[in-house]
Structure 1
Amino acid sequence: MSLLRQASVAARAVSRSAAFSTSSVARKDIVQDLYIRELKGYKAPPAAKDAHVGVVKAYALPPAPKAPALPTDLASELAAYDAAEPTKADAPKVAATGTENVGQGAEAFLEFLEADLPKAEVHH
């Protein structure tokens, strides 16, 4: 029995000692320490007072817009516009592509779609 008592007393003594400490020893990272020390010691060079010259453009307000002038004889200009007729010379010209019925209405387009296409000869 005395052997069991001595074992339990020894176990208690060991458990109370720092041999089984739950806190881990923090390892130091030398590279990280050097990096942080250099960051803390960095001094930015002072900017010159005229550093912005040539980089920033001077702001100038645009000129104020002028109100449009109304024509003096509005009735005659409207009459001239109404009298003018559009000419076919102003319309863009479309090159012929072999589709004669295109642009002649929906019926002509439907007839074009229903027409049989010429069959190409098969060469072997």
Structure 2
Amino acid sequence: MLAQSLRASRSSIARVARQQITKRTFIAPTAVRRADLVQDLYIRELKAYKLPAVKPTDAEGHVQAFSPPKAPKSPEETDIANELKAYETSTVEVEGQAEGGAAPVEESWFEEEPEEEEAHH
């Protein structure tokens, strides 16, 4: 009896072992998550961080006070009238006419200047 029970137990153990081996081949092993102390501390500190309250006076040292630009000065209308009168009374200058009525002096535009002689070294 003892021999039969040993044979039966051996065959059952072999059958269970074969089933376990086949199960292991079909199931992909998962990596065991190891505790990362630095990451846990970092995440805990991020969750515990509170933003400081923003005050309206915080920007005083960093931003200049706004001052609107000065309005441009308007031209005085009396000056414009005087300038217009001066323009109207001025004489028109026409090229080729002399002011005193004298004949215009002809100028030679294509006059060549004498070349300077270069000193030889």
Identify the TM-score tier after normalising by the shorter chain. 0.3 to 0.5
TM-score (norm 1): 0.41
- Bigger Rg over Cα: 2
